[in-house]
Amino acid sequence: MYPRRWDRQDGPVTTELELADGRRLTVRDHGGAGDALVIVHQTTPGGTLLHEDTVRQAGEHGLRLVSYARPGYADSTRAPGRTVGDAAADTAAVADFLAAPKFLTWGTSGGGPHALACAARLPDRVVAAATLASVGPYGVAGFDFFDGMGEGNIEEFGTVLSGGRPAIEAALEPQVSTLLAAKLEDLVDSMAPHLSEVDAVEMRGPFGGLFLAQIKEGCAHGAGGWVDDDLAFVAPWGFDVADIRVPVLLLQGRQDEMVPFAHGQWLAGQIPGVDARLSEEDGHLTLTTRRLSEVFGWLRERWDAR
């Protein structure tokens, strides 16, 4: 059972949270004395790690960050066939064990849809949600999922759509084995087909080391979480973003080749009342490396206005 300690100030603590259905989630409380809980949905692939500067910036706004590994990542029990919308119940369980009736949520990249799931399915608990470079849904009218996407991600999702679970498992398992043994320069080289110039610069900096550590933590037991994320993204999400009624901040950069600008544009046109900040200069990674203080300030304002 996750300890109900609301005033941690002595750094991150990782715990295995046991759910009612017998599954477990790896949960990391990043510490701090902020009174506003932010549950973090990590990238694809990802785990629970956050850069210490991210935690520091959140603390400056009185925010307390708690991240969890989606099923199949880190030591979280895999749940084949999970939908994006299923993340809401897991997130609610994390909040319950923290004795938090209300909370904020934030998701980046592959974590974005899962933050939106919480906004849609937990309107009485989610005060506000923020997404950075969120993936949009596949197969909806008026939206080309692949428009502007880098060749690496086009190949990855093409594999999902053409061959389903067996094909994407066969493609990702060798990649994970390679990444688990990789050094930063290896990661930069392997991600070249996915990165714009502005993001390649960020990957070579301090963020790159954290990104690699995230992959190694999240994929320590294989590609299961990554496989299930990819399958969930192109299947029905289990909710409609047009039904969201809580405040949402959406950031997207035109220089993003991992989750293209068109994804942010489509979501901005569908989420009621969204505060959409569509940047010409940002890429995928720069939203995290350069814009987090802005995001944290926005979340804090919504918490104070609740």
pLDDT over 60 (residue 42): yes
pLDDT score of 189: 85
Residues 6+ apart with CB under 8 A from 266: 136, 140, 142, 143
Average pLDDT score over residue span 89-113: 97
Average pLDDT score over residue span 214-242: 97
Sheet holding 36-41, edge to edge: 13-18, 24-29, 63-68, 36-41, 103-108, 126-132, 248-253, 275-279
Residues 6+ apart with CB under 8 A from 294: none
Q: Count CA atoms within 13 Å of residue 86 on its CB side.
A: 14
Output the average pLDDT for the chain.
93
Tell me the domain boundaries of the chain: 13-304
CB 73 within 8 A of CB 49: no
Q: Which of 29-33, 115-119, 199-203 has the lowest mean pLDDT?
A: 29-33
pTM assigned to the model: 0.95
pLDDT over 60 (residue 29): yes
H or E element, residue 68: strand 63-68
How far is it, in rounded angstroms, from Cα 76 to Cα 2?
Answer: 14
Give residue-wise pLDDT tens across range 166-214: 999 999 999 999 999 999 888 888 888 778 899 999 988 888 999 999 9
Provide, rounded to the nearest whole percent, the portion of the chain with pLDDT above 70: 95
**Architecture, CATH, for domain 13-304:** 3-Layer(aba) Sandwich (3.40)
Q: Token pair of 200, please?
A: 């390649």
How far is it, in rounded angstroms, from Cα 177 to Cα 101?
Answer: 40
Can you point out the beta strands (E) in 75-123?
103-108
Give residue-wise pLDDT tens across range 131-151: 999 999 999 999 999 999 988
pLDDT score of 290: 94
Angle at 99 between CA 291 and CA 66, to 5 degrees: 30
Average pLDDT score over residue span 155-170: 97
pLDDT over 60 (residue 69): yes
